[in-house]
Amino acid sequence: MRVVKVLQAAVFALAGIVAQPAVAESDIGFSDQQTMRTVDVFDFGVNECAKVDLVYRIDCLRQTYSQTVRVISKASVYWEAEVALTRVNRGLYSFVRANTDSDRGRERVNGGRIKAVTEASLPQAIQLYMAAADRAAEVMRGGSKVEADYFGPIADAVEASKSLLQ
């Protein structure tokens, strides 16, 4: 009788272990609220960027990515999306730094001061942004199904922001 009870306990324990993969693919740590807050911050920044001259938009977008990264960094499960957005931010930062138009002043947008890039560098800036945005969206959609579900709206917002420079 004791052997039967031990075997029953072992079967019950094994059943719990077999069910674990379903939990591993769950959305633990992800939330629709975090995703939407991230998208809202990003979309607000992009809408503010639409109000400035084209030469200021690259730095404005950089500022938008920086603000979005600050929001998303509070949730560790969003790490891959954070890294993808940070890469865009850093690329834009380097570009703006190397191509700042010193003849134009700074403008205040969305709580920060942005710089203009030179008119001559705009085609290169646009090309850089398009490629970086595509790469970020691809990374955010390239993870697990759960990540793709939660990162998808962020990737959509990033791709939609490309129209700002077209």
Domain boundaries, the chain: 29-165
Mean pLDDT of 86-108: 96
| Residue that is written with structure tokens 């990374």 in the block | 139
Vertex 103, ends 59 and 162: CA angle to 5°?
Answer: 25
Mean pLDDT of 145-161: 95
Mean of the per-residue pLDDT values of the chain: 87
User: For 139, what's the count of Cα atoms within 13 Å in the CB-facing half-sphere?
Assistant: 18
Between 97 and 9, where is the model more confident?
Answer: 97
Q: For residue 6, how many other CB atoms are within 10 A of its CB? A: 10
Both tokens assigned to 2: 């004791």
Say which amino acid occupies 86.
T
User: For 45, what's the count of Cα atoms within 13 Å in the CB-facing half-sphere?
Assistant: 27
Q: For residue 20, is pLDDT > 80?
A: no
Residue 27's pLDDT band (boundaries 50, 70, 90)? low
What pLDDT score was predicted for residue 24?
Answer: 37
What pLDDT score was predicted for residue 75?
Answer: 87
What pLDDT score was predicted for residue 29?
Answer: 80
Collect all residues with Cβ–Cβ distance below 8 Å to 116 and sequence separation of at least 6. 53, 55, 56, 59, 100, 101, 104, 107
- What are the tens digits of pLDDT across the range 52-93? 999 999 999 999 999 999 999 988 899 999 999 999 999 999
Residue 54: closest CA among 118, 6, 127, 149: 118
Between 23 and 115, where is the model more confident?
Answer: 115
Say which amino acid occupies 27.
D
What pLDDT score was predicted for residue 26?
Answer: 52
Both tokens assigned to 166: 């077209």
